[in-house]
Amino acid sequence: MGSSAPSDPLVVSTAPTLEVEQAFFAAGAPVVIGIDEVGRGAIAGVVAVGVCAILPGVDAPPARLRDSKLLSPARRAEVEPLVHSWAAAVAVGEAEPGEIDAHGIVAALGMAARRGLIALHEAGIDVGASTVLLDGSHDWLTPALSRPPRIQTRVKADRDCASVAGASVVAKQYRDALLVADHEYWPVYGWSGNKGYGSPEHLAAVAEHGASPRHRVTWLRAPSLLGGLGGLDSASASASASASTV
């Protein structure tokens, strides 16, 4: 999920609703868990997956809740605690850059989501009986779970469905804070601003200084990035490009 935000978040799209979640409750679901990921396309830092559980009879969502991409950082900071108060439980799971390099981004998404769902279970949510509302068209979650609950994918669920929008806000705030903290140790990459995404300045810093322990090394060696990474020798780049998970 990208990191850009409009200058005035109150002028953007219609607020997400509970229409889809209420349909699941009407069909008998005792709990609905919205899931969204943040950091899938970054070249540094964890990939984070937010999970947001709501129960039948849930109140209307926070008025300013939107997909995290549609909120400025200041507005996200205001909305995040409201999501925690509104939902039955929220959590964020993560997968490390080394796990992304070793297993690929799709498997890493599953690892992160599984960790988030375990946290919900430990908070008292009946994950096994839930209906999961997963943003996007691809079910990358089922292969990561030994006994998956009912999983429903939906394109633009982060925009349209309040539980998924809540998950997106919590995950974005969590991951951004990690990148800001990492920036203190590796300031040359500008993570406090680019949040680990491949901006020209970020790629130039990698070319000059090399990769940090927080970079996804296989991603840096992808053919699409080689033009910005002149510091990589051609043999190393050629040998590793075929192993890229991008």
What is the per-residue pLDDT across 38-95, written as a single tens digit (0 to 9) for each?
Answer: 999 999 999 999 999 999 999 999 999 999 999 999 999 999 999 999 999 999 999 9
**What residues have CB less than 8 Å from 104, skipping those under 6 apart?**
245
CATH 3.30.420.10 range(s) for the chain read 13-181
Per-residue pLDDT, 2: 42
User: Which pLDDT score is estimated for 241?
Assistant: 30
Q: Percent of the chain scored above 70 by pLDDT? A: 85
Helix (H) or strand (E) holding 196: none
| pLDDT classification of 219: cutoffs 50, 70, 90 | confident
DSSP element (H, E) containing 151: strand 150-154
Query: In the chain, what is the straight-line distance between the N-terminal and C-terminal CA atoms, in Å?
Result: 15
**187 pLDDT tier (thresholds 50, 70, 90):** very high
Confidence of residue 12 (pLDDT cuts 50, 70, 90): very low
At position 151, the amino acid (one-letter code) is I
Tokens 């390099």 locate to 101
Entry pTM: 0.86
Which has the minimum average pLDDT: 169-173, 201-205, 238-242?
238-242
- Greater confidence (219 vs 61) lies with 61
Domain 13-181: CATH superfamily, name plus number: Ribonuclease H-like superfamily/Ribonuclease H (3.30.420.10)
Residues 6+ apart with CB under 8 A from 242: none
Confidence band of 220 (pLDDT split at 50, 70, 90): confident
| DSSP labels, 60-123 | PPPTT---GGGS-HHHHHHHHHHHHHHSSEEEEEEE-HHHHHHH-HHHHHHHHHHHHHHHHHHT
11 has a pLDDT exceeding 80: no
Query: Quick one: pLDDT at residue 225?
Result: 54
Distance CA 41, CA 197 (A): 7
| C-alpha closest to that of 150 among 8, 25, 1 | 25
Write down how long the chain is.
246
What pLDDT, on a 0 to 100 scale, did the predictor assign at position 239? Answer: 27
| Cβ–Cβ < 8 Å for 209, 188 | yes
Mean pLDDT of 92-99: 98
